Amino acid sequence: MAGAVLILGTKFFEKKFINNTKNCSTLKRKDKMNRILKHLSAISLTILLSLGQGFSGELVIGLGSCLDQDLPQPIWKDIKSQNPEVFIMLGDNVYGDTHGNIQNLERAYQKQARAFKKAGLDFPFLAIWDDHDYGKNDGGVEYSLKDESQKLFLKFWDIPEADRRHRNRGLYFEEIIHSKEGTVQILMLDTRYFRSPLKRTPILKKNSLGRYEPDYDPAKTMLGQDQWKWLEVALQREADLRILGTSIQLLAEGHGWERWGNLPLERQRLLNLLAQNSNSNLIVISGDRHLGGIYSLRTKEGIEFLEITSSSMNKPGRNTNEPGPLRIGEMYAGENFGLIRIDFQRRKADIELHGLNEGVVLSKTLHFDKPVLTGK
């Protein structure tokens, strides 16, 4: 979708810019906007959202995953009705398993671009990949076409050339949303490019809880050394609210499909790192499962971490009967998307899972009375 995301971002910026320069003369406002838009291709969403300095009241962030380009996408109508300021795609944004031929993934993106255009979307995106837009089902570091897949991802999402993802291995990144009332830090992890091979269960039996079992090998990694170092530094920056995006589930237990629990030492490392640099001001967002749910984990220090899994946008699952010791309520199997409604004045974030044509089906409120603690 070359150019599409940039165009969406430009429209978003123009609206915010005009609303926040009403006291300027028409000539000055036009000149200032033209000078900024001239360099828009090198401007990150951080700047786009912060220049307006205009979020008062509620900031709405949408999220979702698992969007098959070969299936209808009626969910966009529901999403547009919620007017999100930005929408986060959490992976499987196309289904383009390459099977050794990168053109399979390229064709999937081309078809998805047409679907996005048809939907008439008018909000900017943030995106990370999962296995099916990475190019290999359950793929990790061993996937031989990952660099080619990364190039296609950057092209489709129209990531500016100045962005570090054009130089780095992997797609992890950070965005900051500023407002007069507070700051939101968004950290998006790449759980594919560096991830070590998983340990398969000996036999995948009928009614099995999944194809993988925990692997305690200390040499195995989820994020890779460079990404871990980046994350450690990023978590030391102050924010009123942190959103951590991971394509696979972090908190979920009780199943053997892809999740952080497949590499329990890596999962614990991440939880320890988050506890050292956050209080109860963290929301984890994930996809992948073709099921929706909300999860809660309280550390021994009393810090609560919340996770919303939003999946799938148009390729729903079926089986919701799985153990969920950290899950709040039931799982949701229908087509769905997530919303985070952030009210800085009231210091709270409403976490919602919306079903297609059903409205809110799951919800939880996070109160962030104190700023995020950093650098403990």
Q: What is the CATH number of the domain that holds 226?
A: 3.60.21.70
Largest CA distance in the chain: 71
The mean pLDDT of 253-281, rounded to a whole number, is: 93
The dihedral built from the CA positions of residue 345, 304, 79 and 331, taken in this order, carries a sign that is: negative
pLDDT at 357 over 90: yes
Over range 335-357, report the average pLDDT: 97
Contacts of 147 (CB under 8 A, 6+ apart): 169
Judge whether 350 and 365 are in contact, CB under 8 Å. Answer: yes
Please compute the mean of the pLDDT values over residues 304-321 and round it to a whole number. Answer: 92
Buried b (16+ CB within 10 A) or exposed e, 246-279: bbbbbbbbebbbbbbbbbebbbebbbeebbbbbb
Residue 149 contacts residue 37 (beta carbons within 8 Å) = no
Nearest to 125 by CA among 245, 280, 295, 272: 245
Q: Determine the distance from the C-alpha atom of residue 150 to the mean position of all C-alpha atoms in its chain, rounded to a whole number.
A: 16
Residue from 20, 333, 4 nearest 157 by CA: 4
- Give the C-alpha distances (Å, rounded to integers) separating 202 from 101, 205, 208, 211, 213: 30, 9, 11, 8, 9
Flag whether 204 is in a domain.
yes
- Rounded Cα–Cα distance for residues 148 and 162 (Å): 19
pLDDT band per the 50, 70, 90 thresholds, residue 255: very high
Cα 103 off chain centre by: 25
Q: Are 339 and 84 in contact (CB under 8 A)?
A: yes
What pLDDT was estimated at residue 321? 81
* pLDDT tens figures, 6-47: 333 433 444 443 344 444 444 444 454 444 443 443 344 444
Compute the CA torsion angle 340, 343, 348, 350 (nearest 10 deg).
-30
Number of Cβ atoms within 10 Å of the Cβ of 10: 17
Identify residue 282 by its one-letter amino acid code.
L
Joined tokens for residue 134: 């990475």
Q: Tally the domains of the chain.
A: 1
d(Cα 185, Cα 113) in Å, to the nearest integer?
Answer: 28
Per-residue pLDDT of 158-181, as tens digits, reads 999 999 999 999 999 999 998 888
* Residue 200 DSSP one-character state: B
Reported as a pLDDT band with limits 50, 70 and 90, residue 53 is very low
Distance between CA atoms of residues 344 and 367, nearest Å: 10
Has residue 109 been placed in a domain? yes
Please give the share of the chain, as a percent, with pLDDT higher than 70: 81
pLDDT (0 to 100) of residue 204: 62
Query: How much is the pLDDT for 56?
Result: 56
pTM: 0.87
With respect to residue 376, please indicate whether it lies within any of the assigned structural domains: no
Q: Which residues, in sequence order, are CB contacts of 128 under 8 Å at separation 6+?
A: 89, 90, 91, 171, 172, 188, 189, 190, 245, 247
In a domain, 373, yes or no: no
Q: How far apart are CA 185 and CA 60, in angstroms?
A: 14
Residue-range definition of the domain harbouring residue 355: 4-367
Does residue 76 have a pLDDT over 70? yes
Residue 44 lies in a domain: yes
The answer to whether residue 295 sits within a structural domain is yes
Look at residue 289 and tell me if it is in a domain. yes
Residue 206 pLDDT:
52
Q: Residue 148 domain-assigned?
A: yes
